[in-house]
Amino acid sequence: MAASVLCRRTAMLCRTLNGISCSKAVLCAQPRGGFVLQTASYNPRPLKRSLKEPYIPDKDDEKTPVWQKTARYDRKLFGRYGSASGIDPASLWPSHEELDAIIAEEKEWNPSLDVMRKNIAAKEKEEAKIRLAKEKLIAANMAKMPKMIADWRKEKREAKIKMNEEKARRARLLAVARDHFGFTVDPRSRKFLDMVAEIEKEEKKNKKLVKRRLKEEQAAPSVTPPAASS
């Protein structure tokens, strides 16, 4: 009797499930016998599937952008659509010129161990050459150092002497100006500058006269005194 009742309930539940979406209803068995119908409230959206054909640009069309006609874009299309892109995989390999450029770049940025050793040896040799040249220059300059120090001290003494002479000359000119004008004159005034210009002009004239006299004396023949008679 219980088995027949269970069969009738099962049949009723199956008829009910035929009218309900399988994604919303779940039939669960109970421990004491019987079934419980559970419905889900979540209804997921179906996955979108593009039914459009892949976009393959026409390279012969003038309206097609230039960047869509390159081999790089062909590789991108083949990677996305595969054989559906209509691109020959053999055309995606680099040409001989591109392969040579790739090999040259590989050799430049990733050289072999022998090449790296040779480059290191050449670099060390060049650094040693530069270091030796610097050491020779330093040795030569150190040899000249005593003379350079002596010349520097000499120039310093001469500059100090010249500064003292200029200071004495300036004091002498101020004293002359004070005696000439009867009062202390500003060394920046026009009177003082004009007086200094006149004094320098007179000194140059006197130096020329002295120089001319010395030249005349040197050019004059020397007179030999007569010999004494015995």
pLDDT at 230: 45
Residue ranges per domain, the chain?
Answer: 2-39, 59-93
- 198: exposed, middle or buried (Cβ count in 10 Å: 0-12, 13-18, 19+): exposed
Report the pLDDT averaged over residues 164-176.
Answer: 85
Q: Which residues of 6-24 are buried (b: 16+ CB within 10 A; e: fewer)?
A: eeeeeeebeeeeeeeeeee
Q: Which band of pLDDT confidence, cut at 50, 70 and 90, is reported for residue 125?
A: very high
Q: Which residues of 37-67 are buried (b: 16+ CB within 10 A; e: fewer)?
A: eeeeeeeeeeeeeeeeeeeeeeeeeeeeeee
Strands 35-39 and 25-29, how do they pair? antiparallel
Q: Comparing 158 with 14, which gets the higher pLDDT?
A: 158
pLDDT at 131: 96
d(CA 218, CA 192) in angstroms, rounded, equals 39
**What are residue 28's DSSP bridge partners?**
36
Q: Which band of pLDDT confidence, cut at 50, 70 and 90, is reported for residue 23?
A: very low
Residue 119 has pLDDT above 80, yes or no: yes
d(CA 187, CA 156) in angstroms, rounded, equals 27
Q: What are phi and psi of 157, to 5 degrees?
A: -65, -45
Tokens encoding 68: 């869509």
Report the pLDDT averaged over residues 205-219.
Answer: 83
Out of 22-31, 130-139, 214-223, which region has the weakest mean confidence (pLDDT)?
22-31
pLDDT at 109: 87
Nearest in space to 90 (alpha carbons), one of 76, 78, 73: 78
Sign, Cα dihedral of 168, 173, 176, 181: negative
Cβ atoms of 92 and 71 closer than 8 Å:
yes
pLDDT at 98: 87
What pTM did the predictor assign?
0.34
What residues have CB less than 8 Å from 135, skipping those under 6 apart? Answer: none
Residue 45 has pLDDT above 80, yes or no: no
Report the pLDDT averaged over residues 21-26.
Answer: 48
pLDDT at 34: 53
pLDDT at 161: 94
